[in-house]
């Protein structure tokens, strides 16, 4: 509010602002906006109305209505619905998202999830950090997926909050682990189950390709076109897919062995003690002997080198939801496809940081 002791009335100005529609009727409010002349500085100041949006020709509740619609629709669709320019819709939605972030408060995460997101072709990445306890993204930035880019997050979080981080979930990217050890030394590193199983699926696919090259003639017909049947979980297959899988595994002994080894490896994350998990892994590695599965032997070496980050999941206090990071990555790709690519970096940042926040 303006202080009257140092001001005199100057004039009044009428402004028309848009409010929420009533049915299919657009509603406008005619307001008198007072302007005053300040005696102290000699400038003209305008009355501030708290119910107006940052764009003074729209009310805040209309801006929030636009923001809620943009969560499920594209900017162009909302612009056609409201008969406004898409740039206006974008500005109103950004005000809505900024208000969402303000109401969500300052993050102080205890368990964080680290992942990279491809924003365009040509290996252009940005890092996204999530709070896995509150199940929401809290930081999006950097210029690539390097150690220096992740250092920007820890600098933004601050030394005091860095010391409170207890667990960091990530893939087996060395830059992420190096930055975490340097900036949050108290945090235990846990390698994401889904990234580990992805490496195992790649190993199974390499075995499938080698078998296809080894065979010739009619023997190839069991393997051809069965990549996703072999890589999918059995419970996710249709009846026809299960029949094809049964035929494939019955026709090729090496693929049958590789498939059974892949399915059994998922048991590793069910153990409650690291000693039991280690015993299972040693037995799993011993079953590779004489199987001539080189991709699996390379995968076993990868797990051996990163064992501490995998065994961390055995501790009861580290039993966090590992699927949230992958689910968030999928949601971001949906947002990008729906917008045919988001060119504005600030708009993309707000869109990602608010995609898991409740509506206002």
DSSP states along 108-160: --SEEEEEEEEEETTTEEEEEEEETTTTEEEEEE-SSSSHHHHHHHHHHH-HH
Q: What is the predicted pLDDT for the residue at 1?
A: 45
* Higher local confidence (pLDDT), 111 or 236: 111
Which tokens belong to 74? 């594209």
Q: What is the predicted pLDDT for the residue at 19?
A: 94
Which tokens belong to 149? 């880019």
Phi, psi of 252 (to 5 degrees): -135, 115
CA 21 to chain centre: 34
Task: Choose among 118, 76, 86, 128: nearest CA to 352.
Answer: 128
Question: Distances from the Cα of 271 to the Cαs of 151, 199, 241, 300, 318, in angstroms?
Answer: 33, 21, 31, 18, 12
pLDDT tens profile 137-177: 999 999 888 999 999 999 999 999 999 999 999 988 899 99
Task: Choose among 106, 110, 233, 126: nearest CA to 166.
Answer: 110
Task: Choose among 303, 291, 219: nearest CA to 259.
Answer: 291
Strands 136-141 and 124-131: antiparallel
Strands 25-38 and 7-22: antiparallel
Task: Choose among 90, 96, 104: nearest CA to 62.
Answer: 96
**Given a cut of 80, is residue 5 above it in pLDDT?**
no
Q: Across all residues in the chain, what is the average pLDDT?
A: 88
Q: What is the predicted pLDDT for the residue at 238?
A: 86
Determine contact, residues 89/96, Cβ cutoff 8 Å: no
pLDDT tens profile 8-58: 555 677 889 999 998 889 999 998 888 888 778 878 888 888 899 988 899
Query: Model-level pTM greater than 0.85?
Result: no
Over residues 284-306, the mean pLDDT reads: 92
How many Å is the Cα radius of gyration of the chain? 28
Q: What is the predicted pLDDT for the residue at 81?
A: 92
Instruction: Give dist(CA 353, CA 129) in Å, integer.
Output: 10
Over residues 176-205, the mean pLDDT reads: 92
Q: Where are the beta strands (DSSP E) in the chain?
A: 7-22, 25-38, 44-46, 111-120, 124-131, 136-141, 167-170, 188-191
Residue 217 φ/ψ region, left for φ over 0, alpha for ψ in the -120 to 50 degree band, beta for the rest: left
**Given a cut of 50, is residue 2 above it in pLDDT?**
no
Q: What is the predicted pLDDT for the residue at 122?
A: 67
Helix count and strand count (H, E) for the chain: 15, 8
The label of the residue with tokens 């390499």 reads 206
In which order are the strands placed within the sheet that holds 44-46?
7-22, 25-38, 44-46
- The pLDDT confidence band at residue 4, using thresholds 50, 70 and 90, is very low
Measured in residues, the chain has a length of: 360
Determine contact, residues 280/264, Cβ cutoff 8 Å: no
Q: Helices 193-214 and 294-305 meet at what angle, rounded to 10?
A: 160
pLDDT tens profile 324-336: 888 888 888 888 7
Over residues 124-145, the mean pLDDT reads: 91
Dihedral of alpha carbons 250, 253, 254, 256, sign: positive
Over residues 309-314, the mean pLDDT reads: 89
The label of the residue with tokens 């501790």 reads 315
Over residues 296-315, the mean pLDDT reads: 92
Instruction: Give dist(CA 259, CA 208) in Å, integer.
Output: 10
Strands 111-120 and 7-22: unpaired
Portion of the chain with pLDDT greater than 70, in percent: 95
Determine contact, residues 311/279, Cβ cutoff 8 Å: no
Which tokens belong to 321? 């939801």
């Amino acid at each position: 509010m303006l202080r009257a002791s140092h001001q005199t009335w100057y004039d009044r100005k009428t402004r028309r602002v848009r409010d929420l529609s009533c049915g299919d009727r657009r509603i406008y409010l005619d307001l008198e906006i007072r302007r005053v002349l300040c005696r102290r500085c000699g400038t003209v100041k305008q009355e501030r109305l708290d119910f107006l949006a940052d764009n003074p020709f729209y009310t805040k509740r209309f801006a929030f209505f636009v923001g809620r619609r943009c969560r499920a629709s594209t900017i162009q669709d909302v612009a056609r619905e409201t008969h406004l320019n898409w740039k206006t819709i974008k500005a109103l939605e950004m005000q809505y998202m900024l208000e969402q972030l303000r109401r969500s408060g300052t993050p102080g995460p205890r368990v964080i999830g680290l992942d990279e997101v491809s924003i365009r072709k040509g290996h252009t990445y940005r890092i996204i950090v999530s709070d896995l306890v509150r199940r929401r993204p809290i930081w999006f930035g950097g210029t690539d997926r390097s150690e220096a880019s992740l250092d920007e997050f820890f600098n933004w979080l601050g030394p005091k909050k860095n010391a409170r981080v207890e667990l960091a979930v990530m893939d087996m990217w060395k830059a992420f682990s190096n930055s975490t050890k340097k900036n949050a030394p108290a945090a235990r590193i846990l390698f994401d189950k889904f990234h580990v199983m992805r490496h195992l699926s790649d190993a199974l696919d390499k075995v499938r390709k080698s078998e296809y090259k080894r065979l010739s003639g009619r023997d190839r017909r069991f393997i051809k076109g069965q990549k996703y049947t072999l890589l999918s979980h059995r419970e996710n297959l249709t009846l026809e897919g299960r029949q094809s899988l049964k035929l494939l595994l019955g026709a090729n002994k090496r693929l049958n062995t590789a498939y059974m080894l892949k399915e059994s490896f998922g048991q590793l994350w069910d153990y409650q003690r690291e000693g039991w998990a280690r015993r299972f892994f040693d037995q799993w590695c011993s079953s590779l002997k004489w199987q001539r599965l080189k991709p699996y032997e390379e995968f076993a070496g990868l797990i051996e080198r990163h064992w501490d980050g995998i065994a961390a999941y055995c501790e009861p206090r580290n039993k966090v939801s590992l699927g949230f990071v992958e689910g968030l990555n999928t949601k971001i790709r949906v947002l990008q496809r729906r917008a045919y690519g988001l060119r504005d970096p600030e708009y993309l940042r707000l869109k990602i940081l608010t995609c898991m926040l409740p509506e206002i």
